[in-house]
Structure 1
């Protein structure tokens, strides 16, 4: 309630009017700005505004929307993509097959993305052929067609580093030929990859495209002004859809915290944003600005408490299960994110909204349930040799106090509230726990580096696809973000009713499987491992709270039941870009 009071006293009741043809949002970017996608912070909010994928995929409807590509065709292990004839970089040069090949090479080299692509062939200047070592299934198509990384490394800008990137990409593909079969790659290869990556990054880090006036965009907007507090984009003068666009400028104010975004919404300083917002503030924002509306589609992602498996403490399944029972997940949801869908008694990492689609009631009944039950948590610990001292703290079987921190991004108010509630609940149970606030700009890096005990993160996230393979790849996949954060041993076998299974291999099978029934069976196996071995504990399904001005400053938003809103999770700017570039979103009046 303190936050509400402060915001109320500082807002300006009269909305700030945008300039004609301007759209205003909030976002983030590294500062000083460098514009290099391979440096810390990457390109920030320019990711979706300035760079374009081949297509958009609408999870709620299954619709494909051509963007940089005008068409594509998949046959077995190959996919041919035809680029738009009028696709150009913001400096006026054609976007060609050579640029796509360059981009894929850099991704394979630096980010180890798309390693199943054995080669990309140039058929002509506007046609590329992807040759895969595996069948290009729908999940693979989504992964290839919907990522803007395919068009953010123009050859005429990054060509000087291409030979080194090609050498590294080739080695990484060779390593993948081992790891994709569950085999360990020769140390000679992994060492060579690490050394080449270090050399390539060291050279690339000296390149600052923004400072050198070499930042070129493939997408609708190009940054023109970058300050610490605001980033201004103008229309790419060579963009293929520029003639349809009624909005010529996008102004992005710094998203320093949810509090700051709430203040901007109340003051009418921005036209759309999606901060997690308490109910009283939500009502206040909409009362002060009658044109502001709220839509809450599924964000296709869970908030979760994740464990650091590098630490022996969290390698004990008994402790992880005790934590699951000691958490009142409904209360966490109620205090942290009132608009969310509650995760109740499972930890299977199938998003609650889609649970009935993928998991039968018969299967769910076979899973361990984790309702709020502190007595059950205590029973599990005692059976495993833990003891509770006279000081009220639980101790491990070797007599050490169970002590850890809950790390959280300091600029995500909903996460902070959740972390503090989790900390308090676990303290009350008898663990020695503290909340550790980390700045957003270092949060992901510190987590990937193992500098935490437990942390608040998105667990299962189906962004961009609405498919469980995306969430499980994030948790168990070789390059999955949560896999890297937790260091969960997903490449090892786990006992299941189907025998010993390796989750990393199951994820690969799920990505390649096309038969609907077989995919469900694979999801059940991954759900079982998730639920019984607890790499993380999900506590709510986020429903993204999108505030948008309809009629006051801009107009043309879809109806609230339109499947297009499902474009928002994992990259809301692409939703804005689609509406602007089709001419649907335009200035009001």
Structure 2
């Protein structure tokens, strides 16, 4: 029920055994992409039908009997993961997940040498210990690994015989996000000053060396999207935020702030500004970025405490507002278009009370907040490319003017592929097939297996 698709999808209707009709709230140009990429429906009737049969379509979901049905459905856990692919769940521990060949796979007859095909896939959890993951890769125990590491670690991994490195751009960027309900993050001049005070290219080189730096504008788009959707002529009209600590200082002094005897900043009332930055502890690249930013801000005169946290504590801190800044991301995977990212940043429902807070408006003033929400809604209804581009420009201008967040790198998906030990046949690093990993990594690799491109080494 929290899926982004329900912001644009009204209902789903089954007209016969082979026809499903999606009713959109308004004509939506990204519907097929969203259904195919991000909002996968995997609820077979033989498991979930007993709930479907009891739904009363004449009453709202929050009324009975639907209210109790929803509560019961949320408590239900299938005895095993539901799959339709060539592999099925076998066993799981805290350190490994074993998938084995599906004896009932519906397309088994299309796979060459099915009987001698891959026996299964052994998965190591993505959140496993960082050093343990590196040791497994270096020992040749992993055929495919997604892990973002510093440049020197990439070089070290590539000394493993047969190891390949492929890094297609992702449809996302990393950014420094603000807690808009915590002073002084709700002050536009403070956010702009930080955009100038942080050397974003230095952050990128430490955290994601092979990524695309975003160090000139704050348009709210990944670098490759920016190049596709925003013309050089349009970009020339925007304020630039290239590293310039002198300009950051000028902005702060312009609102009455000053440095104390210790060199640290005080606001107009003389209060010293101390900051806290948090991020996901298990992701080394996120921690490296947050650590670099905290050191830069401390050096500039904002003492900044680094707080890497496990996911459950991270979200709890976010809910409680117990920080000023966080290293986060904006993803465009759901449609691979600007609408996805801007919907995440600006697509709020202004009828909800929380949208009236600074946090709800992402730091925008009420007028700009209403305008941004309208533009996101309009972009989701625009079919003509020229209209889409015009709306994207207006959203980029709003984002750049208000700096609701500070993007610093469009990440590339670091993939280490071991050839010749258990698997062979990897496509060339510049093969366009790797672009599919941006949205659907597991499905992309499953396709390579099913199509016989990746073959087992016997």
Q: Give the TM-score of the pair, scaled to structure 2.
A: 0.88
Q: 1:239-318 maps to which residues of 2 (within 5 A)?
A: 239-243=105-109, 244=111, 246-255=117-126, 256-287=128-159, 289-318=160-189
Quote how far apart the aligned CAs of 1:391 are.
2.6
Q: 2:238·2:397 contact (CA, 8 Å) conserved in 1?
A: yes
Q: Deviations over 1:324-354 (max 9, x none)?
A: 1110111111222211111121110221123
| Paired position in structure 1 for 2:34 | 143
| Paired position in structure 2 for 1:113 | 5
Q: Distance in 2 between matches of 1:486 and 1:407?
A: 20
Q: Would you say 1:564 and 2:433 are equivalent positions? A: yes
SS in 2 for 1:333: helix
SS in 2 for 1:566: helix
SS in 1 for 2:142: coil
Question: Residue 415 of structure 1: which of 281, 286, 289 is its match?
Answer: 286
Q: Which runs of 5+ in 2 are unaligned?
A: 350-354
Cα-Cα RMSD? 3.0
Question: Residue 337 of structure 2: which of 460, 467, 471 is its match?
Answer: 467
Question: Residue 457 of structure 1: which of 328, 341, 352 is its match?
Answer: 328
Q: Would you say 1:367 and 2:238 are equivalent positions? A: yes
Q: Distance in 1 between matches of 2:227 and 2:2?
A: 38
Q: Deviations over 1:388-442 (max 9, x none)?
A: 2113221223332212211111111111111011000000111121111111355
Quote how far apart the aligned CAs of 1:510 are.
1.3
Q: Deviations over 1:164-204 (max 9, x none)?
A: 87669x747xxxxxxxxxxxxxxxxxxx58x9999667534
Quote how far apart the aligned CAs of 1:450 are.
4.0
Q: Distance in 2 between matches of 1:351 and 1:503?
A: 19
Q: 1:129-528 maps to which residues of 2 (within 5 A)?
A: 129-137=21-29, 139-147=30-38, 149-151=40-42, 153-162=43-52, 171=60, 202-204=71-73, 206-209=75-78, 213=79, 215-243=81-109, 244=111, 246-255=117-126, 256-287=128-159, 289-444=160-315, 446-447=317-318, 450-459=321-330, 461-463=331-333, 465-478=335-348, 487-489=359-361, 502-528=371-397
Q: 1:117-128 maps to which residues of 2 (within 5 A)?
A: 117-128=9-20
Single out whichever of 154-163 and 195-204 deviates more from structure 2: 195-204
Quote how far apart the aligned CAs of 1:446 are.
4.5
| Paired position in structure 1 for 2:418 | 549
SS in 2 for 1:478: coil
Q: Give the TM-score of the pair, scaled to structure 1.
A: 0.70
Q: Would you say 1:535 and 2:427 are equivalent positions? A: no
Q: Deviations over 1:337-380 (max 9, x none)?
A: 21111112111022112323211122111111111111111111
Q: Distance in 1 between matches of 2:183 and 2:398?
A: 20
Single out whichever of 155-164 and 410-419 deviates more from structure 2: 155-164
SS in 2 for 1:434: strand
Quote how far apart the aligned CAs of 1:553 are.
1.9
Q: 1:215 to 1:355 in 2, by over 3 A?
A: closer
